[in-house]
Structures are given as structure tokens and as C-alpha cells.
Structure 1
Amino acid sequence: RAAFDGRIAQIYQDGRDEVEVRVQLPQDQRERLSTLSRITIRVPDGRFVPLTQVMNLDHRQGFQALRHAEGRLAVEVTSGLNTRVSTTDQILTSLEAEALPDIASRYNVRYSFEGRAADQRETLGDMQTGLVIGLALMYVVLAWVFASWSLPLIVMAIIPFALVGALLGHWLMGLQLTILSLFGLFGLSGIVVNNAIILVAFYNQQRKKGLDITDALNEAAVQRVRAVMLTSLTTIGGLLPLLFETSLQAQFLIPMATSIAFGLGLSTLLVLLVVPALLSWLEQFREWRARRHGEMAEPIGAPE
């Protein structure tokens, strides 16, 4: 070992630097395996004999470094990805279902997906918690503004349709669902409710003025359609240049822009149909409940 790694013969101070003097074989000899066969070692009787007389040398491929994970030897396997052939999720799913369980049972080893896969798992876990908290806060704010427990549900009912539009946009654009796509879905959830709020708030005002259900719904859809379309089209128009940008830097943001643009586009078309239908059903339910209890149905914006 001293012949190849060297042995420290002296350490001296050179200004602020500490210099080690190491004695070892010349570099050209250290780089040849044949040097091992010429090395001599001392045997118990004091003689020096060649290394090949006391041991058999065998050549095989080894590891450059031994890595440990949680106190156990570990091997890190990395690879590149050709996105034209497959995706990360498809490869990980295939390995999880076929190759890795067989290797683990045959050689008694454990495996785990680390690197980007581990970061993605952690991010998805945090996003699930954030999604629950975000939706809960959204519901609380809407319930406080409308003074109703049911109207926030109608406003938030447009969110699933926006998610469908975002997924449809990824399919049309030939994009894979990425972490940035999910970030776009988060932002989309807060954007699409604006159109529903406009309709519900205007409908609520018309009902308080004394209009019946059908007239109030018609007024809300007719009077607010321009505001709904303008707010959505301006947002989508601002994202269009990014959707068709070809630079490398833009490729990371295109999935997020796709989620927002297509999700907002589909939800804008459906909000004028879904929200009035849900409001009509809610009014019918309130009237049925009032008749059942022998009471007068109050306006939909009244506290419940």
C-alpha cells in the first residue's frame, strides 16, 4: 500500500500552507498492474520474496468508491432519458413492476428511486397538503363574502372542468405532465373561480331585487358574458406568445402556460352553462326544503 498510496516521510510549514512529503513509486509504475508482481514483501523468517509467491493475483472490475446509505453499502445507478422514446414515469413504472422486484428477491437487496424521483415525491407530497389548505382557505373566504355555505361550492365547482381543459391542452400540445404543469394547475384553480364569482354575485344581486330564478339567471348570463369573456381572453392572449416560443428557456414554462391557457379557455365556455344550472338546482332544493318545513324560501344570498 505504501508503494502506491505513499507514506508520509515529513510535514513542514511553507508560509500558511502545510506541505506533506510522501514517498511512493513513480507515477508510471503506479499506473501499471505489472508492478504488483515485482513488489517484494517480508515473510516471517525475515526474507523478502515476490508478492506472487504468497498470493494469487486476480483481475476483475470493481467500484471506484464504496458508497453507503443508512449504514449499508449502496450502488447508485443513473441513466439518460430520450424523451422521444419514453418518459420518466413510464420507465419508473416499468422498473417498479418488472425488473427491480426480481432483482431484489434474487440478490436480497433493497432499492429506492432517488435524485429527481425523490425530489418529485417530496414535492408532490407538499403540493397535496398545499392543495387541501388552498381549497379550504378559498372556501372560507367565499363563504364569508357570500354569507352562504352552499354558494362557495357552486363557485368552486368550475375547478374540475378547468383541470380537464388543462389535461386536454397537454394532449393537444403533445406535452407531458410535469411539476410545472401542476404549479400551473394551482394557479388555474384560483383564476377560474373569478368568472364564477362574477356570475354568482350578479345573480345574487338580481334575486335581492325581486327577480325570479329564471329571469335572474338570464340576466346574469347575458349581462356578465362580456366581462367573463374579456377577463379570460386577455389572460389567454398574454400566454399565447409563450405557448409557441421555441427557445430552450421557454420549454420549461410552456407546460405551466398550457395548463393555465387551456384550462381557463374550457372553463370560460362552460361557466356560462354549469354555474347557472347549479344555481337553478340549488334554488329548487331550497324551495323544496322550505315547503317541507312549511316556511318561505329566502333569497339565495341570505344566511343559511
Structure 2
Amino acid sequence: MTFSKVSDQSVNISGAVNEFMVKFFVALLVVMVVCFVSMGWRVGIVVAAAVPLTLAVVFVVMAATDKNFDRITLGSLILALGLLVDDAIIAIEMMVVKMEEGYDRIKASAYAWSHTAAPMLAGTLVTTIGFMPNGFAHSTAGEYTSNMFWIVGIALISSWVVAVVFTPYLGVKMLPDAKPHAGGHAAMYNTKHYQRFRRLLMSVVARKWLVAATVIGLFVVAILGMGVVKKQFFPTSDRPEVLLEVQLPYGTSIEQTDKTTTKIEAWLRKQDEAKIVTAYIGQGPPRFYLAMAPELPDPSFAKIVVYTDNEETREALKNKIRQAVSDGLAPEAQVRVTQLVFGPYSPYPVAYRVMGPDPATLRDIASKVESVMQASPLMRTVNTDWGTRVPTLHFALDQDRLQAVGLSSSAAAQQLQFLLSGTPITSVREDIRSVQVVGRAAGDIRLDPNKIAGFTLVGANGQRIPLSQIGHVQVQMEDPILRRRDRTPTITVRGDIDESLQPPDVSAAISKQLQPIVASLPAGYRIEQAGSIEESGKASKAMAPLFPIMIALTLLIIIFQVRSMSAMVMVFMTAPLGLIGVVPTLLLFNQPFGINALVGLIALSGILMRNTLILIGQIKHNEQEGLSPFHAIIEATVQRARPVLLTAMAAILAFIPLTHSVFWGTLAYTLIGGTFGGTIMTLVFLPAMYAIWFKVRPEKQPA
């Protein structure tokens, strides 16, 4: 007996953990560098210290609630790394500003708490609630991503606690006594850069309707641009396994399947990229990966799992296998080359179910669907789950001749059953096992269709009767397997696509081509989309009832913070504006919009609403200090410029390394583009929008 390694989960786990650790240290470095450059090294240390402390709190809560580390958990922490420093930067920046105005450290930290804690908490809760549909959706995708809501929520709330409690405390202990500006608050924001920005803002507010129309136009263009962006449900996996599905005609003996599979195995073992080759004859492998489903036992089916070193060698081996199959590696079998995918299991990326009562009619309709899919250049391979019809032997009895020899139909059937399939006669004990002894005709006779007519039956009087005297053999084409769904006969036409394409885009194109077939379907027949599109639909359907609750909670939090219906509506309207930066970024870098990009868009919505809440709070504070509404808007935006730019720069730089991740790459691109666009929205569009919303008129001279 020998033991061979088939798959090594520890390698994949180590890779995922190492990816997180790299992003963790990059995020720390980025935060420290940004703060070093803008506010000094001590501020950088204070802000950077918030990251490990927040993660420590998250780990304690995870341990207390039995949350384990998995890909989604680690990804959620990576997402949180780009967000949890924002609160700390906002709090410490406010504290530094007040110290530069002449406040002592204690008073400055108290001011930072009183003016930023509430809007930051509201923004944190709004961002967390945005992930609520993922946490409570009852679907396969919901099961896969539910931890995202809990981990991101725990991380963001922990980061808020750290930002308003621990960061000010560290600031009091570590920040140096700042030298107050000679002119006080006004002099701080009277530099050349601030003066240019102030003039820009005054021009923006003066032309508020033009600015609003421009942003609305850009938003409409972004929505239209989403039609051009490639769509995706879940990305393919970066795991190194290559999967081969070997399907011989239904009814093929397991010996023939083994012979064909052995031939393919021998070829694979000669390839440098293949490190471990394991074949499963008559069934699929054990479920060693979440997004897999067990295969039904089938003597004509085999699955081969090939372990490679990395993603690059996996792709190289896949191309070599496909070329070898095209060159005739196993012409007697249908060989499918695929890989593992993230997310809910779907056997094929593109599939259609043809359903109806009559199998023959189903075959005709499925054949038309298959022809359309095969003719499409978007498809790589196409097949059906019923397979091709196979010839079967039927023996038609002549009842008159049966009666003449004294046999009944059942008696003749029993004797044929004995000759062809066999009947247990006795059993023989072998050690501790009992082995049945089966009596039947010799293999060279019963397995040869030409010799079946020469079988001899025994009549009622013991006479020997040639089978050809009581009937004749018929060869008929039959379906080897009939599948049903909801008790209705169902043929699934499915196929693979090129890795450069996305299943939703291909499905949309194929569905348009199938419309003439759908329009001409007989009564009682229908065609349904299956594959990854169906799984995506299930996920959307499961989350749909949760969106009204999410929106209601979001509005409730905002209204508690701003205490104004008008302000609440304005804050909520800023949520989708991140799309203006997201769509060009995805198009520029040829990235699809999938569930991870959607997660990034949700996070962006929370960031934009938080910035809006803080800006509105600053405007109200300025008005209470005696500024006119116009100058309150201008000065509030000037005062918020530095923390907004710092948090944006930290987030963008922290997410750049994540763009190389197979699973989280689209999320990183979404956050980078959305944060860039959102920063412009915060500093340029929000002042104009506030002026429109509250009917603020421009002024030439300060109030």
C-alpha cells in the first residue's frame, strides 16, 4: 500500500493568509507615509497604530462568535483595511487643526470627539448596513458571502471606537505641542493653495446649476456605460488544479472507461506542468472544494484532477490538453477541460433547460438550441445532458407461435433474462465474504448481437426451441438517460466559453439568438436559463426583500444625524454618485462588474454619505459661528479638503496591490476609481448641490 498526495489545502490557505498579510503591511505603510508627508511622523504613528488595534478587536470578537478564517473573511478584512483608517485620519486631523489654532491637546481631542464622532458613526453604520443583504440572504451565494456583512461590520464599528477613543488618547500622549498660527483659524486656511481652491468653490457655487447638470449628465453616461462593462457573477478561482471530465457514450462499460482514462493519464504524467494526477472512474472526486458538487455514479464517466504549481502553469497545461484532445488524444470520448471557480456551484457557465412532456419533441427543440449555441463564436464546446441516442436490441414475440410451443410471454422473458443478465444460483463463502454465483450464457455469445437470435429456449414439454422461431430481433435508437426537473422531462443544453469572456455577456447574446425558437415553442414547452445566470438570479431574488429594509435603516440613521428631511434626501442622493468614477475605471482596465465590484460600490456609497454628513455638520457649525450660508459652504468645504484628500489617497494607494488578486481585483479597481471620483464629488459637487438644495445665493463679500 502506498500513499500519494492528491490535493494540498494548506498551500492554498497559506497563499490566502500571505495575501492578507501583504495587504496588511502595505496598508500600514501607505497610511504612515501619507500621514508622514502631510502631518508629520508622530501623526503617522498614531494613525497607523489604529490598524493593528482594530484588527485585534476584530479577532477577539471573531473568536467569541465562532467566526473562522476563510477566503471571504480574509477578503472582508482586506476590504476593511482600506476603510478603517479613514475614521482615525479624520479624528487626528481635526485634533491637529485645533492644536494649530491654539487649543491644548486635551481640548483639541475633546473638540475632535464632539464634532466628528456622531457623523463618523452614522457613516460607519450606513456602510455596514449596505452589506446587510449579503449577511441575511437565504441562497447559496448568501451562504458563501454572509461573513462579509459580519466581518466588515465588526471591523468598521471597531475602527470607529478606536478612532474616537484610542486615537485621541494616543494623540494627547504622542503629539508635540503645535505652534499656533499667528492669525489663528483664518490664517490657517489663507495660503495660496487654499485661496485657489476657495476661488474655485465660489465659481462652482455661483454656477451651481451648470455643475449639477454636468454631474447628472456624467451619472447618466455612467449608467449607460454599465451596459458596455462586462458582467460577472463570481470570478474563476486561482487554485492550481485542472479538471478533466471524460464522458464516453452512455452504456459504455467501466472497463472501457478505465482504459480510455488510463490513456489520458499516461499522457498527462508526461507533461512537466502536471505534478499530481488522480483519476476517479465511474464517479467524481470527493468534495474537497466548496464550489463543487458530487457526480452521480456512471460507468461511462471519469474525472481527472491534475495538480499544478501555480496559476500560470495551470493555464499552460489547459491549453496543451485542449490541443491534444483536438489532435485525437481520446477520440472515443468527450473530454472537457475546466477548473475550479469561486462562488456557488454551476456545472457549466452557459446553459439552457428545454422542458416539456414529450421526449421526442424535446429532442427536436434541444437540437435547435444546440445548433444556435454551436454556431456562436462565443461558445467553445456544446453538449446536452441526455447524450446521443444509442442503439438498443428489442425482441418482438410472435404470440401465435408462442402458444403453439406452449410458452407464455413472461416465461420467455424469464429465460431471456437468465441467458442475458443471469440469475443468482447459489453463494460461495470466501474468507469473511459471501460471493454470489450467477448462471448466464457465455460472454462470447450473450455480448454478440448477431448470436442472440441463435439462443435456445425450453418449451412447456421440455423441447428446445430456437429463439428465431418465436419472434425477431429489432434494433431501435433510444435515449440512454431521461432527466426530469419538477417531474417534467428536461434536456439541458450547456457549454463552455473562452476564459476571456464572461458568462452573463455570452448568455445575453445567446438568449437574443434563441428568441425565434422561444416564440415558436408548442404549448406546454419552455426554455429556461440555467448555469451561472440562474445562480445569479437566485442570489438577487434572495436579496431583493432585504433591500427595502436596508434603505429604511439607512434613512433612519441619516435622519437621526441631520434632523432634517431635506438634508436626509440630499445625503441619500449622493450614495450612487461613485458610479461616475467606477465605470470609466472598469472600462479602462477591462474589468468585469460582478459581486465583488458590487461590494465595492456599496462601500463607496457609505464613504460618500459619510463625507456628506460630515460636510453638512461643518456647514451647520459654521453658520452657528456667524457665517452666512454661502460662506459657510465655502469655508466648510475648505476645512474638509485636507482630511478628504488624505483618506482618499490612503484608500487608493492601499488598494493598488489588491488589483493583482484574482478574487478581489475588481473590488480594488471599483474602490480606486470610485474613491477618486467620490473625492471630486465631495469637494466640488456637494457644495453646489447643497447650495441648490437649500437655495443659497452667491455672495461677493464675506458676511
> TM-score, normalization: structure 2?
0.36
Aligned length: 279
C-alpha separation in 1, matches of 2:430 and 2:567? 79
Identity of aligned residues (%): 21
Bigger mean CA offset, 233-242 vs 14-23: 14-23
State the secondary structure of the residue aligned to 1:111. Answer: strand
Residues 11 and 200 of structure 1: is their aligned pair in 2 closer, same or farther, counting only changes over 3 Å?
farther
Aligned-partner residue type, residue 585 of structure 2: G
Q: Confirm or deny: 8 A CA contact 2:483 2:489 kept in the other structure.
A: yes
Residues 241 and 17 of structure 1: is their aligned pair in 2 closer, same or farther, counting only changes over 3 Å?
farther
Deviation for aligned residue 1:210: 2.2
User: Which residue, out of 83, 95, 119, partners 2:510?
Assistant: 95
C-alpha separation in 2, matches of 1:166 and 1:10? 74
2:632 pairs with 1:212: no
Counterparts of residues 1-304 of structure 1 (less than 5 Å): 1=417, 3=419, 5-9=421-425, 22-24=438-440, 33-34=449-450, 36-40=452-456, 48-50=465-467, 54-58=471-475, 60=477, 62-84=478-500, 86-99=501-514, 101-102=516-517, 105=520, 109-243=525-659, 245=660, 250-284=661-695
C-alpha separation in 2, matches of 1:3 and 1:275? 87
Give 5+ residue unaligned stretches, structure 1.
Answer: 288-304
* Equivalent residue, structure 1, for 2:316: none
Deviation for aligned residue 1:4: 5.1
Aligned-partner residue type, residue 114 of structure 1: A
Q: Confirm or deny: 8 A CA contact 1:10 1:20 kept in the other structure.
A: yes
State the secondary structure of the residue aligned to 2:484. Answer: strand
C-alpha separation in 2, matches of 1:24 and 1:205? 97
Q: Confirm or deny: 8 A CA contact 1:43 1:49 kept in the other structure.
A: no
C-alpha separation in 1, matches of 2:467 and 2:594? 61
Deviation for aligned residue 1:15: 10
Bigger mean CA offset, 30-39 vs 222-231: 30-39
Residues 234 and 141 of structure 1: is their aligned pair in 2 closer, same or farther, counting only changes over 3 Å?
same
Deviation for aligned residue 1:106: 5.3
Bigger mean CA offset, 62-71 vs 23-32: 23-32
Deviation for aligned residue 1:40: 5.0
Deviation for aligned residue 1:11: 7.2
Coordinate RMSD, CA, aligned? 3.3
Give 5+ residue unaligned stretches, structure 2.
Answer: 1-416, 698-703
Q: Confirm or deny: 8 A CA contact 1:40 1:48 kept in the other structure.
A: yes
Residues 53 and 130 of structure 1: is their aligned pair in 2 closer, same or farther, counting only changes over 3 Å?
same
Residues 106 and 145 of structure 1: is their aligned pair in 2 closer, same or farther, counting only changes over 3 Å?
closer
C-alpha separation in 1, matches of 2:424 and 2:438? 4
Aligned-partner residue type, residue 283 of structure 1: F
Deviation for aligned residue 1:273: 1.7
Deviation for aligned residue 1:188: 2.3
Deviation for aligned residue 1:2: 5.1
Identify, as 1 or 2, the structure richer in strand.
2
Q: Confirm or deny: 8 A CA contact 2:518 2:527 kept in the other structure.
A: no
Bigger mean CA offset, 26-35 vs 210-219: 26-35
Q: After TM superposition, where is structure 1 displaced by more than 4 Å over at least 4 residues in a row? A: 1-6, 8-47
Question: Which protein, 1 or 2, shows the higher relative CO under an 8 Å CA cutoff with sep ≥ 6?
Answer: 2
C-alpha separation in 2, matches of 1:258 and 1:30? 65
